[in-house]
Amino acid sequence: MNAILTLAGLTFREAVRRRIALAAFVLGLAFVALFNVGLYFILDEFARSGSSATGAQQAIVTRSVLNGLGLAGMYAINFLALALGALLAADTLAGEIGTGAIQSIVTKPIARWHVVVGKWLGFALMLAIYLVLMTTGVVVGLWLQGDYVLPGLVRGVPVLYLVSLTVMSITLMCSSRLSALATGGVIFGLYGLGFLGSMVEQIGSALNNPTAVNIGIFSSLLVPTEALWRRAAFEMSSALTQAAGAVSPFTGLGSPPSVLMVAYGLVYAAVALWIGIRWFSRRDL
């Protein structure tokens, strides 16, 4: 256990020193600033244009707008976090194997699975910190400027974290067998497949087309990232937004996945990590 924690700490510190993590945090701060500036001007313009409405009507519409803006912000955070997880893990094993740096680790009296699990834990900690900071920036902005808090944050944010963990686990698995470039291509190809399948499922649900819905469900089983996001968005949607059932990449309310998809995502990430351990343990270094 000490070896795993030591490797996790080394991985975290290495991730901090890498320019990828630095760039992700800088871009994240820029996004939070832009979101809050945009939120200010949107609310200001909205207050002016809606001045003729009654107080109750204005409050309902304003809260609906704030919920929609909050979900859009969370959607951006979801993409930035999963991109960070993919970029961090894509080069970790493949790069060290290619340069021979992995020899300085595996020659020590530790098992190979310690290396994979230690790296996974280090990246998981990095993603947790990143997600907390980004989410805080959006949530605090909505609260200070609109006196509004997204519902279901306690249930939705952990599912967002699971999305990035799933992508990172798949990336680490591929990195144990493929080159860094090939790993990146596979990961973003899978993400695209999941995104398109999710949209097909939502549109099929809106049009009452069982074939399209089944295609979307199948793609969600292959790559559950978008289905997990839609579950998180459903948890953070207001009652009015859920009742509207609008089809949108920000809400995914056309056919929200069940809670079982969260359990499937957990199993999926664990299996990906296990496969990565198996592949790395058998690879000729």
Task: Please give the tally of structural domains in the chain.
Answer: 1
Q: How confident is the model at residue 197 (pLDDT cuts 50, 70, 90)?
A: confident
The predicted model gives 106-125 an average pLDDT of 83
pLDDT digits (tens, 9 = 90+) for 225-261: 988 998 998 888 877 666 655 555 566 555 678 889 9
What is the spatial distance between Cα 50 and Cα 160, in angstroms, rounded to a whole number?
Answer: 33
Give the per-residue pLDDT at 107: 62
Q: How confident is the model at residue 95 (pLDDT cuts 50, 70, 90)?
A: confident
To the nearest whole number, what is the mean pLDDT of the chain? 83
CA distance 209 to 244: 19
**How confident is the model over 189-201, as a mean pLDDT?**
83
For the chain, give the secondary structure using H, E and C.
Answer: CHHHHHHHHHHHHHHHHCHHHHHHHHHHHHHHHHHHHHHHHHHHHHHHHCCCCCHHHHHHHHHHHHHHHHHHHHHHHHHHHHHHHHHHHHCHHHHHHHHCCCHHHHCCCCCHHHHHHHHHHHHHHHHHHHHHHHHHHHHHHHHHHHCCCCCCHHHHHHHHHHHHHHHHHHHHHHHCCCCHHHHHHHHHHHHHHHHHHHHHHHHHHHCCCHHHHHHHHHHHHHCCHHHHHHHHHHHHCCHHHHHHCCCCCCCCCCCCCCCHHHHHHHHHHHHHHHHHHHHHHHCCC
Tell me what pLDDT residue 62 has.
79
Q: Determine the Cα angle at 80 with ends 74 and 85, to 5°.
A: 125
Q: Which of 159, 229, 224 is nearest to 194 (CA)?
A: 224
Model confidence at 215, in pLDDT bands (50, 70, 90)? confident
Q: Are 259 and 285 in contact (CB under 8 A)?
A: no
Q: What is the pTM of this model?
A: 0.88
Question: Residue 57 — pLDDT band, cuts 50, 70, 90?
Answer: low
CB 68 within 8 A of CB 241: yes
Q: Residue type at 38?
A: G
Residue 164 reports pLDDT greater than 90: yes
252 alpha carbon, distance to own chain's centre: 15
> Domain range for residue 208?
2-282
Confidence grade of residue 170 (pLDDT, cut at 50, 70, 90): very high
With vertex at residue 171, the alpha carbon angle to CA 133 and CA 261, rounded to the nearest 5 degrees, is: 75
Q: Please give the pLDDT value at position 217.
A: 82
Between these two residues, 103 and 217, which has the higher pLDDT value?
217
Q: Which of 125, 70, 94, 127 is nearest to 250 (CA)?
A: 70
Q: What is the mean pLDDT of residues 167-188?
A: 88
pLDDT of residue 173: 92
